[in-house]
Structure 1
Amino acid sequence: MDRLRQKISTIAHGDHPIAAPLHDAEVDKLLDRALTRGDEHVLDLGCGEAPWLVRAAAGRPGVRADGVDLSESALDRGREHIAAAGLSDRVTLHLQDAADYRAPHQYDLVVCVGATHAFGGLLPTLEACRKHVAPGGTVLIGDGFWERAPGPETLRVGFSEEEFMDLPNTVDQVVLDQWIPVYGHVSTLDEWDDYEWSWTGSLSRWALDHSDDPDSAEALQTAAQHRTDWLRGYRGTLGFVTMLLRQESRPEPHTLFRH
């Protein structure tokens, strides 16, 4: 991601730090269901400004967390949020490609919400998560699906018909990949609208308030194009599902047979 794209993304998420169409109450519900002990180790692949990690660690003094992202500007903002919340001793951010991240231990919860593109799609992301999640652990993943078959207006803004499936087939491919959904949330149109108005509005407001910045004209144009793509392209067609997934615990081979 180049400097300008990083800057625009950071500004655009200023009023909606969770980079996905989820209301705060749903974020809290997902984390409450995932972090039942309160002393888990958490990893966020593609963490951005680390809002999931801040929310996970706040109020759970036993939680330790790592976040990985390629955006230096987002991580800088994330460290500010972490420091303001008094979590610098428990939440660590790493500037590197999430696909290359290696840790000395596995994690109780691995998060990747709205960042599956970094791995090439849903199933490759789950494969990356599988390498990091501890036995009995949970993956929290969020990705798009087609609420309805995409028409020409959706495909014109840069999507391909093969990019997503409908919700039943999206869940089926996760199950076929040997993951078991233990909870999920399908984002509502209200959540989508709040996210998109926040994204385009934050960026537009910044551009208007910083007209002397050399990037302001590009930011305003990007916000306008994004708003058009959303309203005339994928609103009501592109859905978003966030799932908590676990893998079935299988006994060791020697326990399966009695001699």
Structure 2
Amino acid sequence: MTLEFKNHSLFGPVIGDIVGSVFEGKNVKTIDVDLFNPSTRFTDDTVLTIAVADALLNNKDYTESFQYWGRKYSWAGYGRNFREWMFAENPKPYNSWGNGSAMRVSPIAYAFDHLVQVMEEAKNSAIVTHDHPEGIKGAQAIAAAVFLARTGKTKQEIREFITKEFDYDLDRSIEEIRPEYKFDVSCQGSVPEAIICFLDSSSYESAIRLAISLGGDSDTIACMAGSIAEAFYNDIPEALLDYADKKLPTIMKEIIQAFQNRFT
């Protein structure tokens, strides 16, 4: 089933996740990759991004939404701690600093009109699992970057705000980071790099290619970079939109369309 979408919001992180899925841990270290590999699939990044959108749309508790969608797509590649959490009868946060809090947060940047609201809601979405300060910080940084991008801020303004607010080192280039970068699922070791992928990019596709070229947790870095690039460029190639459309189940596309209709 193909749906008619008004615009591209939420496809940015989803496409990044899908095309990055076959490169996770491969360390290809080049932007010259095939974005349409037939083996790609959506992973936990997409599932939980949809879960955040569903929670915002339908006034669901984040715990309820994460457990519902996580259990529905239980094969999607969750970390061990989150997997235990999503099947628990009385789940509690587990002090995680992992980038799972940041990969799923982008819908919040579209659902609120003020940065302070976005920051607070990003924290709310993180703390049900990732209550470590770095886990909260990573979610807030990505949400803030998406919000600033979609509200017309320049790359320099985004760089300056994220640097000042979160003390991330964004004065590096992907060319400098790439040679020694290794697999890192921490917020502090992947969120700044994802933001730099966006800052160094010239288009949405460029941001995704730079993210993949870093190596490491490629799908999640591309998911995070893609969420910011989508908001900034507002121009995703039709071929990538069509590709993602074919990879997603109808129930997810319905959430995306309902989210776009309401919030964007």
Q: What TM-score do you get using the length of structure 2 for normalisation? A: 0.36
Q: Which has the higher helix share?
A: 2
Q: Which has the higher strand share?
A: 1
* Higher RCO (CA < 8 A, seq sep 6+): 2
Greater Rg over alpha carbons, structure: 1
Q: What TM-score do you get using the length of structure 1 for normalisation? A: 0.37
